[in-house]
Amino acid sequence: MSPPGRTSESGLPAEAAPDRAWLAELAWSPGFGLRANVLLEATGDRFSRVTPDAEQIPAGAVRLPGLTLPGLANAHSHAFHRALRGITQASRGTFWTWRERMYEVAQRIDPDGYLELARAVYAEMALAGVTCVGEFHYLHHGQGGVPYADPNEMGRTLMRAAAEAGLRITLLDTCYLAGGLGQDGAQLPLAGPQLRFGDGDSARWAARVEELAVGESGTLGPGAKAGAAIHSVRAVPPAQMGEVVGWSHRHGVPLHAHLSEQVAENTACLAAYGATPAAVLNEAGALGPRTSLVHATHLTRPDIRLLGESRSHACFCPTTEADLADGIGPASRLAAAGAALTLGSDSHAVIDLLEEARRVELDERLASRERGHFTAAELATAATSAGHASLGWPDAGQLTPGALADLVVVRLDSVRTAGLAPASVLESVIFGATAADIRDVIIGGREIVRDGQHQLLADVPAALQSVITAVLD
């Protein structure tokens, strides 16, 4: 610990980035599993030392009762969908009727409203232990598709919202060019609210995102990195995909795409291109270790092999997939083939990464009528280190020296978690705890949530209430 006023080993003034120490009663990390009395020391925003079974406890170390986890990564988010939570459950319908409601909300959002909405949504995420969000961003332009004076105003708004909510963001700037594929495979033009998503063609998409000035390792600013996204085979014709893939390769940043969420997408893709969506993306060079395929629900055996052999990530969003009646994806077969699993809350029907994690296993149990496809440690890895790696932050999501100093503390004295046995506490937390059990969240050494209270936004529920009421009014 450096005394105040001294320069720390990282070269940062100690006042600006004071050294910190925490003593976790129990901690789990992909690196070392479950351990007791783990001393976590940080210099600046990174861990300098991690000592399980610590005996020498420095004075001033903050005690963390409960189970401490690394930061959680929400690998797939559309922030504005949060406004739909209150209005879409009262009606029936399909993914496609839900999408019409989503377009209505998209139509109403301007940059000022989006700053307020996204800041409150990201604060809700921080309260749920999310330390980094992958924002799959396609609401680019003004009404009718007219660009703002700064054509990246909406993207910059999302980065500002994340900074003000205290978490990191990977801005997955999304190429969205077509209104969909008809069942006969014909490509539909953008129409109505979709006009706000489009850049015309992928070259103009690339020219716009280039103005974000991507730095080394994809950095866009403090706590913000860049990524690219192909919305889906519905929205980006194959001939336009290469530009997006090439841009992500040039900058060495993540590339995400929605994949086979609905059977109708596969049918139309086969009719249009004579190949599955996974095969079309593969043909465009879009698969690989920096790639995440979101949903990956309706896959053929060769599709699973393509994702596995390319070491792509498969990002499951089980609460959204259930909400939208998408189906159950082949999570364990993808993992067995070599694809790394990650998790997202997507439409934010709920924001709870513990719920997303357990549903991967529980959905497989329902589909197979067998238990035990994923261990709790595998599910927790998806929510932590794998999720962060898929967003371009391989140095986050684990409790190890050099990693970003993120901590998520789950209380073990709530009505849901009381009575858990220490030896199986990770299993019990993954399968029985909720976001409401997350008590403290540290991001880059900063205390963002203390005792269930967000430290940067005084009243997150009130912020959500006011902005969503205004958006839906």
Determine, following the binding rule CB under 5 A, whether residue 41 of this chain makes contact with Zn ion: no
**Which token pair is 21?**
């120490």
Q: Which is nearer to Zn ion, 81 or 225 (CB)?
A: 81
Nearest approach in angstroms of CB 76 to Zn ion is 6
Nearest approach in angstroms of CB 342 to Zn ion is 13
Cα–Cα distances in angstroms (integers) from residue 237 to residues 179, 180, 188, 225, in the given order: 11, 9, 11, 26
- Determine the interface stretch with Zn ion among 164-172, 231-239, 343-351, 360-368 (rule: CB under 5 A): 343-351
Q: Which is nearer to Zn ion, 346 or 364 (CB)?
A: 346
Nearest approach in angstroms of CB 78 to Zn ion is 6
Nearest approach in angstroms of CB 397 to Zn ion is 21
Contact residue for Zn ion among 323, 326, 346, 440 (CB under 5 A):
346
Q: Which is nearer to Zn ion, 131 or 297 (CB)?
A: 297
Closest CA to 199 of 166, 152, 232, 234: 152
- Determine the interface stretch with Zn ion among 186-194, 220-228, 306-314, 341-349 (rule: CB under 5 A): 341-349
Q: Which is nearer to Zn ion, 173 or 346 (CB)?
A: 346
Nearest approach in angstroms of CB 261 to Zn ion is 8
Nearest approach in angstroms of CB 346 to Zn ion is 5
Instruction: Considering the candidates 199, 303, 323, 346, report the single residue annotated as catalytic.
Output: 346
- The structure tokens 């998503």 sit at 197
Q: Which is nearer to Zn ion, 346 or 406 (CB)?
A: 346
- Determine the interface stretch with Zn ion among 115-123, 268-276, 342-350, 400-408 (rule: CB under 5 A): 342-350
**Which token pair is 348?**
């934010």
What would the 3-class secondary structure string for the chain be? CCCCCCECCCCCECCCCCCEEEEEEEEEECCCEEEEEEEEEEECCEEEEEECCCCCCCCCCEEEEEEEECCEEEEEECHHHHHHCCCCCCCCCCHHHHHHHHHHHHHCCCHHHHHHHHHHHHHHHHHCCEEEEEEEECCCCCHHHCCCCCCCHHHHHHHHHHHHHCCEEEEEEEECCCCEECCCCCEECCCHHHHHHCCCCHHHHHHHHHCCCCCHHHEEECCEEEEEEECCCCCCCHHHHHHHHHHHHHHCCCEEEEECCCHHHHHHHHHHHCCCHHHHHHHCCCCCCCEEEEECCCCCHHHHHHHHHCCCEEEECHHHHHHCCCCCCCHHHHHHHCCEEEECCECCCCCCHHHHHHHHHHHHHHHHCCCCCCCHHHHHHHHHHHHHHHCCCCCCCCCCCCCECCEEEECCCCCCCCCCCHHHHHHHHHHHCCHHHEEEEEECCEEEEECCEECCCCCHHHHHHHHHHHHHC
Cα–Cα distances in angstroms (integers) from residue 405 to residues 99, 244, 323, 378, 394, in the given order: 38, 32, 34, 21, 13
346 is catalytic: yes
Instruction: Considering the candidates 295, 313, 373, 454, report the single residue annotated as catalytic.
Output: 295
- The structure tokens 């974000």 sit at 212
Q: Which is nearer to Zn ion, 346 or 352 (CB)?
A: 346
Nearest approach in angstroms of CB 136 to Zn ion is 5
Max intra-chain CA distance, the chain:
70
Q: Which is nearer to Zn ion, 228 or 407 (CB)?
A: 228
Contact between residue 385 and residue 70 where contact means Cβ atoms under 8 Å apart? yes
- Determine the interface stretch with Zn ion among 84-92, 246-254, 338-346, 447-455 (rule: CB under 5 A): 338-346
Q: Which is nearer to Zn ion, 124 or 346 (CB)?
A: 346
**Which token pair is 172?**
């997955």
Nearest approach in angstroms of CB 125 to Zn ion is 15
How many residues bind to Zn ion according to rule CB under 5 A? 1
339 vs 85: CA distance, rounded Å:
31
Q: Which is nearer to Zn ion, 135 or 346 (CB)?
A: 346
Nearest approach in angstroms of CB 347 to Zn ion is 7
- Determine the interface stretch with Zn ion among 36-44, 64-72, 339-347, 392-400 (rule: CB under 5 A): 339-347
184 is catalytic: no
Q: What residues act catalytically?
A: 295, 346
Which parts of this chain interact with Zn ion (CB under 5 A)?
A: 346
